[in-house]
Structure 1
Amino acid sequence: MTVMLGEDAIWNALSTIADPEIPVVNIVEMGIVREVHLDGDTVTVTMTPTFSGCPALHVMRDDISRTVRSLGLSPRVETVLSPPWSTDWITSEAKGKLEKYGIAPPAPASGTLITLDEDLVRCPKCGSFDTTVKNTFGPTLCKTIHVCNACKEPFEAFKSL
């Protein structure tokens, strides 16, 4: 018996793939997966990494291919860089997960590339806006390191882009 899968089922399967660098969110809710197209038994997944030089790009491509194959379909993964990924593509659910994980979610993007201007960043631990940037480059290119002056805890914050 052949089971016909629709694109919704494929999107649901892709939403089980954790972001390789932030495992509490998945690649769909991070806005990395942009399109899914089903043509017969071939699925074309279009993705945009958070940065063109993302070190986890191959991991995400492999995870997408493996997930599509697990559905009995043939994967084709395309990476597109234009328009570039934006933090505005992160779902509100994912922003909540980031905050619970201890990463300040990004503010709405200004429509420009990353700026090093200090944005008002709320501490994900105590909620205070009395925070200071300690390093504009965190453990990944898309994050900064802050310290909360109220609770004294260090935390990461997503750059808005």
Structure 2
Amino acid sequence: MVTGTAGRAQAAAGAETDTKLEAELRRLAGTVPDPELPVLTLEELGVIRGVRLLGPGSVEVRLTPTYTGCPAIEAMTSDIERVLHDHGMTAVSVVKVLAPAWSTDDISAEGRRKLAEFGIAPPRHHAADEPVPLTLSVRCPQCGSTETELLSRFSSTACKALRRCVSCREPFDHFKEL
């Protein structure tokens, strides 16, 4: 699967070939909350790459971490296994897929809305064939001002930066573009 806009189109095409049961299992796996950002589901975060039935009661879920070495991947795996076991799957295999890498463009529009509502500035979209801009105009999720400053390249998780709004002086997390 390819990330970004191409990845979403390919995922939609792949979903058309899923059986009804695979589609339902994917939906269930996608409802698992992200352990570091529980306001988002794994589907909204865009880390569920696919679900495939291996046989009666046996399923494989393909999962891509937000970055290599992400400590939340084990919790995600455990939570997916639990949800699918609770829905009748006796054998659940979660396979980590590192390539192609996850991108912040894989976060759904609903996921971006939820991040902003939760007080985390969502990452900006960028075209797959364009570089990620180094100079960011990050909108404050509290007051909406774009006059913000970087306090730390890392925040509560490696995928977020700590910023402060110059206008309202409130600190906030910004989900970094990848």
TM-score (norm 2): 0.82
Partner in structure 2 of residue 119 of structure 1: 136
Q: Distance in 1 between matches of 2:45 and 2:120?
A: 14
Q: Distance in 1 between matches of 2:70 and 2:132?
A: 19
- Aligned match of 1:31 in 32, 36, 46? 46
Q: Return the offset for 1:118.
A: 3.2
Q: Is the 8 A contact 1:143 1:157 kept in 2?
A: yes
Gaps of 5+ in 1: none
Distance in 1, Cα, partners of 2:153 & 2:132: 10
- Secondary structure of the corresponding residue to residue 105 of structure 2: helix
Name the amino acid aligned to 1:97.
K
Amino acid at match of 1:46: R
Which of 59, 81, 99 is the equivalent residue of 2:75? 59
> For 1:97 and 1:22, how far apart are their aligned partners in 2?
10
Give the equivalent residue in structure 1 for 2:63. Answer: 47
Percent of residue pairs bearing the same amino acid type: 41
Superposed displacement of residue 37, structure 1: 1.0
1:103 correspondence with 2:136: no
Letter in 1 for 2:58: T
Report the 3-state secondary structure (helix = DSSP H, G, I; strand = E; otherwise coil) of the residue aligned with 1:28: helix
Matches of residues 1-161 of structure 1 in structure 2 within 5 Å?
6-40=21-55, 41-73=57-89, 74-109=91-126, 111=128, 117-161=134-178
Which amino acid in 2 is paired with 1:65?
Answer: E
Q: CA deviation at 1:68?
A: 1.2
Displacement of 1:43 in angstroms is 1.1
SS at match of 2:150: strand
Moved over 6 A (4+): none
Q: CA deviation at 1:79?
A: 0.2
The one-letter amino acid paired with 2:119 is G
Equivalents in 1 of 2:132, 2:156: separation in Å?
17
Tell me by how many angstroms 1:111 deviates.
5.0
TM-aligned CA deviation for residue 116 of structure 1: 8.9
Structure 1 stretch 7-16 or stretch 84-93: which is displaced more? Answer: 7-16
Q: Which residue of 1 aligns with 2:14?
A: none
* TM-score normalised by L of structure 1: 0.90
* Residue type at the aligned position of 2:87: L
